[in-house]
Amino acid sequence: MKESSVPIDNHPLFDLRGMVALVTGGGSGLGREFCNILAEFGAEIICPDLYKDRAEETCDMIKRNGRKALAMEVDVSKYDQVQGLFRQVDKAFGRLDVLVNNAGITSRPCPIDQLELEDWHHVLNVNIHGTFYCMKEGLRIMMRQKRGSIINMASISGMCGVEPEIGPMAPYITSKSAIIGLTKQGAAEYGRYGVRVNAIAPGWHFGTRLSTDAGIMRTEEEVQKRKQLLASRTPLGRTGEPRELKGLMVYLASDASSFVTGQIIASDGGWTCL
């Protein structure tokens, strides 16, 4: 964690001190990166994850760097658990400034006609319903304080679809499209309360749990082959690294983006050029 060793910054434009940030699925992959960078810029972190031990690992890293962090075991697809989470946030912190709806899953690649209904529902439950539940509860706190920044995780695949050779994952892609709709509607409805809602649409990144969970890559050789395929079709000529999304996270979480809302920002090396 080289980045975490950088001294806490105190630039007013990007300063997150005094703010409370919640990152769902913060126990691993991108979620962990987000927790770390938000903490590095001064925020107190709430880290709910389906796996408590992973959430605790993230929080231990943050605490070692002298910041407050709270690990929680939460399944975002269960509304009562999400309600409990936000009740506790309100009780323990009394505020919520940044909500990152990062928790997300994918099913294995499979053409639509062969999809198991169970896979379809499972992915949509976590990705769409989870994001909706957290927005519903989080917005209530943010409305009250008349400020807040919600950052949803979309995907470029939710903007343009992808060829079967690259990733036939209709449930995931559908869920990411839905998140784009939820983002824009949230921005339209809550702008008047000083709440901004934006989404990050990552392109092809390696080194996250999601990309390995998809089960697309099995051997190191296959990983390299896939990387090459994706890189060859990306204008920047490479795939992304999870750390490259951290800057965008800080920009969207902080006052530096105080007039940016309803935006779906692609960080994809030029894949979509939208």
Partner 1 sequence: MEVGPVCSISLALKWRRDVDRSAIAGISGGVEGKVTIVTGGGQGIGKEIAFRLSSFGAKIVVADINEERASEVGQLIAEREGAALSIGLDVSSQESVTHLISQTVEKFGGVDILVNNAGINKSTFIYEEVKEEEWDKIFAVNVKGVYFCTAAVIPIMKRQKGGRIINIGSGAGKTGAISGSAGIHYCASKAAVMCLTKSFARYLGPHGITVNAIAPGLVDTEMTKDWSALKERSAMNTPLGRITSPSDVANAVLFLASEASSFITGEILDVDGGLLMD
Catalytic center residues:
172
Shortest Å, Cβ 262 to partner 1: 4
Q: Is 6 in the site for partner 1 (CB under 8 A)?
A: yes
**Is residue 99 within a helix (H) or strand (E), and if so which, with residue range?**
strand 98-101
Between residues 164 and 191, which has the closer beta carbon with respect to partner 1?
191
User: In the set 52, 184, 209, 227, which binds partner 1 (CB under 8 A)?
Assistant: 184
User: In the set 32, 54, 196, 226, which binds partner 1 (CB under 8 A)?
Assistant: 196
What phi and psi values does residue 200 have, to the nearest 5 degrees? -100, 130
User: In the set 1, 13, 92, 112, which binds partner 1 (CB under 8 A)?
Assistant: 13
CA 153 to chain centroid, in Å, comes to: 4
User: In the set 113, 192, 218, 219, which binds partner 1 (CB under 8 A)?
Assistant: 192
Structure tokens at 197: 């809602």
User: In the set 44, 56, 97, 268, which binds partner 1 (CB under 8 A)?
Assistant: 268
For residues 36 and 5, the answer to whether their CB atoms sit within 8 Å is: no
Q: How many residues does the chain have?
A: 274
Query: Which residues inside 217-236 make contact with partner 1, applying CB under 8 A?
Result: 234-236
In terms of Cα–Cα distance, which of 55, 68, 60 is closest to 27? 55
For residues 159 and 201, the answer to whether their CB atoms sit within 8 Å is: yes
Between residues 62 and 82, which has the closer beta carbon with respect to partner 1?
62
Sole window of 36-44, 95-103, 169-177, 218-226 interacting with partner 1 (rule: CB under 8 A): 36-44
For residues 165 and 216, the answer to whether their CB atoms sit within 8 Å is: no
Residue type, 78: K
Query: Which residues inside 78-137 make contact with partner 1, applying CB under 8 A?
Result: none
CA 211 to chain centroid, in Å, comes to: 14
Q: Is 37 in the site for partner 1 (CB under 8 A)?
A: yes
Residue type, 25: G
User: In the set 169, 178, 245, 253, which binds partner 1 (CB under 8 A)?
Assistant: 245
In whole angstroms, what is the distance from residue 42 CA to residue 80 CA? 30
Site for partner 1, rule CB under 8 A: 3, 6-7, 9-14, 37, 40-41, 184, 187-192, 194, 196, 203, 234-237, 240-241, 243-248, 250-251, 255-263, 265-270, 272-274
